[in-house]
A and B are shown apart, each in its own frame.
Chain A
């Protein structure tokens, strides 16, 4: 099972070092995407990850009330909900996109957090209808609010 993990850098400033053991262990089965803030996520990121081969996509945000940008984590949650709605529309299980809110206190260790997630989530199974995601991405409806050049 392939897993993509998007996470806020504020969770673990040493993330680049901490995640290496997991990367070594799981090789190409796990991909980490550190972000300046989890609010940076867009639906397209999540869907691209599924299209590129991820069977499970996690978005890990800071605990409520501690976002460096005030409400990035709240916005991230809403964007994930939007992406889940999109993949439900095309017939995929929305549970393939999962939101994880880190527990205080920060910083956490990203590897420990992810190990915990992996031990509890081995039942998702491979994603079989990836091409539907590709079609949705090609149509692009509602995916790129940030990148249409019009500010909409």
Chain B
């Protein structure tokens, strides 16, 4: 039996003081000079340890305060207030919310699942992935407790085309040739983010993270640099120009190459296979209303991996775009109907912001998921998109130390892996490959709403 997959983590401290939800405002004028000051009574010694980061003008008061409000309540002159921090409010956007960003930071720092403590007060539904609830019917079965249980839960997936049947020769040996496959122990590959400061160091950090986890990072051809050669085993090269622009040794060393969809895609695949028959080729295409149709055509043409990319908010192209989970469901089901689902690997990405999105997209039919922005967030990105506008990155991502970045990405993925195990344990699943397309094990709010209330609108 192969060794169990386990991600070893260690705390990797932030470079910059983390932005927290609120800030302390304390008036000094009017202080009664009480012999027992609430500041001295702070159980976390926040005021005693306070200091200023002069580069960002941030007080340690803000990021070490645990929001217990004891000082606010007990100061006799009510001189201390708490207020929302404007920097917290400015993190991300409506999709990449400040809560998501700060929880990703926490996971990247500690490698642990973020726990909020006092239960969940709602909301219980919302747009996108929030309109999907996973089955937790086996949550009380301790042997399948994902992280600490006795039964091993596998998160290994294979990328590539799979044979539907084996052929045997007269001597009983297998005569059919098995297509090449790449095994990754976590159903996650790293994708180039839609925006970032110059990527030289960022790519190296992605690759170091991919190496630590045993997975792959997709690196675009124009970003490829001889510095990255030690990581070739964990690189999936995204071709921008034809295969003839690659050195043969590189094609022979790579395990996976991604080709953008287009008239030349299948010809490029063939050329690459001639140089390296063990290479797995993935076709990258945008998620669109015609995606299911394209998926069927490409699967029939012998494509090994279909990589569908939504935008950073998880939406497809078009005038009335669908969210990624809806379109992936459709693609998956159309492949099932055509009897081709198990032949081709479906990779999907765009708008994957949390561990639950990973599990939910797999339930909707993806074999594995491409993650992009969270990897930058692991390295303290604030999703401000200043880099896309040509404004300097507030956390100097272009100068990031790749070793530090790789360790933060490893930690984040360890947190996601633990959460994936939790979800699968609660569903009673022992293999992530079994979870793919298990839509019967999830509830979809839109469908339930339709079932329950559609009849109310009927007349007669």
Contacts and interface: CB of A to CB of B under 8 A. Distances in A.
Contacts of B384: 16
A115 interface: no
A49 B54 CA distance: 7
Interface stretch (A32-40, A83-91, A119-127): A32-40
A98 B319 CA distance: 50
Interface of B: 22-23, 25-29, 31, 33-34, 37-40, 47-48, 50-52, 54-55, 57, 59, 61, 81, 83-87, 89-90, 384, 386, 389-392
Give the most central of B25, B39, B50, B57: most A CB within 10 Å: B57
A37 B83 contact: yes
A39 B28 CA distance: 10
Contacts of A37: 25, 81, 83
A45 B23 CA distance: 15
B76 to A, nearest CB: 11
B52 A150 contact: no
Given A151-B33, A152-B33, A145 B86 contact: no
Interface string A37-50: 10110001100110
B98 to A, nearest CB: 11
Nearest to A17: B90
Nearest to A68: B83
A9 B89 contact: yes
A52 B81 CA distance: 28
A72 B83 CA distance: 12
A13 B59 CA distance: 21
Interface string A3-35: 000100100010110001001100110000111
A150 B27 contact: no
Contacts of B54: 48, 51-52
Contacts, number: 88
B86 A35 contact: yes
Given A20-B391, A28-B392, A149 B27 contact: no
A145 B61 CA distance: 14
A69 B48 CA distance: 25
Contacts of A9: 86, 89
B39 A149 contact: yes
Given A16-B384, A146-B26, A34 B392 contact: no
A36 B33 contact: no
Contact of B25 (A6, A28, A40): A40
Contacts of A51: 54
A130 interface: no
A6 B40 CA distance: 28
Given A75-B29, A146-B28, A45 B83 contact: no
B52 A24 contact: no
Contact of A149 (B50, B85, B389): B50
Given A33-B57, A34-B87, A36-B85, A23 B31 contact: no
23 contacts: A6-B57, A9-B89, A15-B90, A20-B386, A27-B392, A28-B392, A36-B22, A36-B25, A37-B81, A37-B83, A48-B54, A49-B57, A52-B54, A69-B81, A71-B27, A72-B25, A146-B28, A146-B50, A147-B47, A149-B48, A151-B31, A151-B40, A151-B47
A138 to B, nearest CB: 13
B389 A48 contact: no
A40 B55 contact: no
Q: Which of A9, A36, A49, A72 has the most CB of B within 10 A?
A: A36
B392 A23 contact: yes
Contacts of A36: 22-23, 25, 83-86
A102 to B, nearest CB: 15
Contacts of A20: 386, 389, 391
Contacts of B87: 34
Nearest to A6: B57
Contact of B86 (A23, A28, A34): A34
Contact of A151 (B39, B81, B86, B390): B39
A75 B28 CA distance: 9
A33 B39 CA distance: 25
Nearest to A31: B57
A44 B83 CA distance: 20
Nearest to B28: A145
A90 B235 CA distance: 58
A150 B40 contact: yes
Contacts of B390: 24
Contact of A45 (B37, B57, B84, B89): B57
A138 B85 CA distance: 28
Contacts of A34: 86-87, 90
A69 B47 contact: no
B23 A40 contact: yes
B37 to A, nearest CB: 3
Interface string A109-125: 00000000000000000
Given A36-B85, A48-B52, 15 more contacts: A16-B384, A23-B391, A36-B86, A37-B81, A48-B54, A51-B54, A147-B47, A147-B51, A147-B52, A149-B48, A149-B50, A150-B39, A151-B31, A151-B39, A152-B31
Nearest to B31: A151
Contact of B37 (A39, A40, A151): A151
A145 B39 CA distance: 12
Interface string A54-86: 000000000000001101100100100000000
A47 to B, nearest CB: 10
B385 to A, nearest CB: 9
A52 B55 contact: yes
B25 A149 contact: no
Contacts of B59: 147
